[in-house]
Structure 1
Amino acid sequence: MTTKPEMLSRIEATFSQLTPSEKRVGSWLLAHAAQIPFETAESIGQASGTSGITVGRFLRKLGYRNLEDAKKSLRDPYQPWGMNERLDSWQQQRPLSSRLQHALSLEVDAITQVYQLAQTDAFRQVVHNLAHADAVFVLGIQSTRGIANAFFSHLEYLRPRVSYSEGASGSWVESLNSGFSHPYVVLTDTRTYSAMARQYCRVASEKGIPLALITDIWCPWARDYPMDFTAGENRYRSLLGFACPRELSVQPAAVGRGGSAG
């Protein structure tokens, strides 16, 4: 298990108190830790949709003099993410149109990022909770309802007491008042970042209900609540990219329960 650099820990610890612009910078830094040594304040500002001045001000707020000072904290033992595999030989044998080629590259990027995410402590915590919770509630929102339902279908074969809800007619209330001592909720929100999802996370946090939020790094409120948070960049909004975290978590969860749904 690798040691998380001090700068990333500081960002996570203060994220809920940051301004919207600072959250964009912080989210980008958390998702691109391996790239930081090669970036400038201006390039980070451009990538995060802010500015170099905002980046510098944010780093000083974290306690660093400038970006070079912040980079020193990344020299702790840390394993950077590897380069994405591009399926070069397959592409050479089967040429695609430029549009399809670009779409394929984005899909591969999204999936590769998820496999890298599966090596993190946050992902391992989600798997542990899926295996050992008294009951699991899977909630689907907007365009991710189908993926959430598929995850529910796989998980219910592997463990008892798994429920699915789309939130219609207030059906999420059951997950907030289930009566179980140790429930666990898995919630997905992407694209437009539903106000309903944010409200649910707030209420679940107030009730002390353990919750996993699967989203992308652009969700502006994802770190405002104490929960298991897994996010990839996924600007392409790839449905494959959002399906992968669930598929990767199912088998380890089954192993954690001894491979039996009973």
Structure 2
Amino acid sequence: MNASTTVSDVIHAHFDGLTRAERQLAESLLQNYPVSGLGSITTVAENAGVSTPTVARMVQKLGYKGYPEFQAHLHQELEATISNPIAKHDRWAANAPNRHILNRFAEAVMANLRNSLGELRTATFDEAARLIGDRHRSIYFVGGRITGALAEYFFTHMQVIRPRTTLMSSNASSWPQHVLNMQDGDVLVIFDIRRYEADLTTLAEVARANGVQIIVFTDQWMSPVAQHARHCFKLHIEAPSAWDSSVVMLFVVEALIEAVQSSSWDETRERMNTLEGLFEQARLFRKPR
């Protein structure tokens, strides 16, 4: 197999020779490539609506010894995608000096992404996506003074995808009313990075004591919220700035949005169609002439 040949190239080259179930799997993998192939073999099969043996057979038909080798190639592609722009500054700012802030910031952000992905377990991602997508659970989002914007972004998308979503204010005085409504098994997504906010830790402790499942997005040093969390996304945030970078956190949030959306696409599509009808009635957006 040529070193420059991607897994996507291999899938397309073999597509006509695949069975119906294998084509269904191939299309699923290509929809959100390469992220769609980074989960466990069981998760990939479930997302495609095929059996685990179908996945095993198809990757061998593509020329890989097994699923681990297939996935290793995907990881290598992702690594190359991440690292190449660092080595080639001209992709970022061809007319800027090597140490220009654009290049220095790009290097820092890409290093953050590479290090975060290297430490992130796909099982953690998959389980968090399952919890967030479970429509039998109510889901709450909250962040701090800066990270509240990320909580709102996540909430705005999830509100379209599924019902029973709530955005909590960054003002701690309003939290007790929300905790009052939380049921055993509900999900609370918390964003907390350094300088960790004591109120968020208290909220996590109280919510967990009431049976709420905590998912925390934090930095590489880990918020105290993590000790109460079922799942912790420990992500790198340092940047050549007085402010920390939220790029990697947003990357993981958007990947989770896609994972949840894909896992319940029929219901999501119906909600989106209904929402578009409401937008039309409200004349919210301008129509092209």
The question of 1:156 aligning with 2:159 is answered: yes
2:83 match? 85
1:126 to 125, 128, 133: 128
Of residues 147-156 and 217-226 in structure 1, the stretch that sits farther from structure 2 once superposed is 217-226
Secondary structure, counterpart of 2:267 in structure 1:
coil
1:38-49 correspondence to structure 2 within 5 Å: none
User: Residue 115 of structure 1: CA displacement?
Assistant: 4.7
1:242 match? 249
Write the distance in 2 (CA, Å) between the matches of 1:162 and 1:186: 11
User: Residue 232 of structure 1: CA displacement?
Assistant: 1.6
Is contact 1:118-1:248 (8 Å) kept?
Answer: no
The question of 1:195 aligning with 2:198 is answered: yes
Where structure 1 has 5 or more consecutive residues not aligned to the other structure, the ranges are 1-78
2:110 match? 108
How much identity, in percent, do the aligned residues show? 15
User: Residue 242 of structure 1: CA displacement?
Assistant: 2.0
Write the distance in 1 (CA, Å) between the matches of 2:128 and 2:252: 10
Secondary structure, counterpart of 1:110 in structure 2:
helix
User: Residue 114 of structure 1: CA displacement?
Assistant: 4.6
The question of 1:233 aligning with 2:236 is answered: yes
Secondary structure, counterpart of 2:181 in structure 1:
coil
Q: 2:202 is matched by which residue type in structure 1? A: Q
Q: 1:241 is matched by which residue type in structure 2? A: V
Q: 1:185 is matched by which residue type in structure 2? A: L
1:96 match? 96
2:265 match? 258
User: Residue 258 of structure 1: CA displacement?
Assistant: 3.4
User: Residue 101 of structure 1: CA displacement?
Assistant: 1.3
Greater relative contact order: 1 or 2 (C-alpha under 8 angstroms, separation 6 or more)?
A: 1
Q: 2:224 is matched by which residue type in structure 1? A: W
User: Residue 252 of structure 1: CA displacement?
Assistant: 0.7
Where structure 2 has 5 or more consecutive residues not aligned to the other structure, the ranges are 1-71, 272-289
Write the distance in 1 (CA, Å) between the matches of 2:181 and 2:141: 13
Q: Residue deviations 1:79-101, cap 9 Å, x none?
A: 89957414157523614331321
User: Residue 153 of structure 1: CA displacement?
Assistant: 0.8
- Compared CA separation, residues 220 and 187, structure 1 to 2 (3 A): closer
Report the count of equivalent residues.
Answer: 184
Q: 2:152 is matched by which residue type in structure 1? A: N
User: Residue 202 of structure 1: CA displacement?
Assistant: 1.3
Write the distance in 2 (CA, Å) between the matches of 1:158 and 1:224: 29
1:224 match? 227
The question of 1:171 aligning with 2:174 is answered: yes
TM-score by length of 2: 0.56
Secondary structure, counterpart of 1:260 in structure 2:
helix
Is contact 1:176-1:209 (8 Å) kept?
Answer: no
Secondary structure, counterpart of 1:245 in structure 2:
helix
User: Residue 109 of structure 1: CA displacement?
Assistant: 2.1
1:208 match? 211
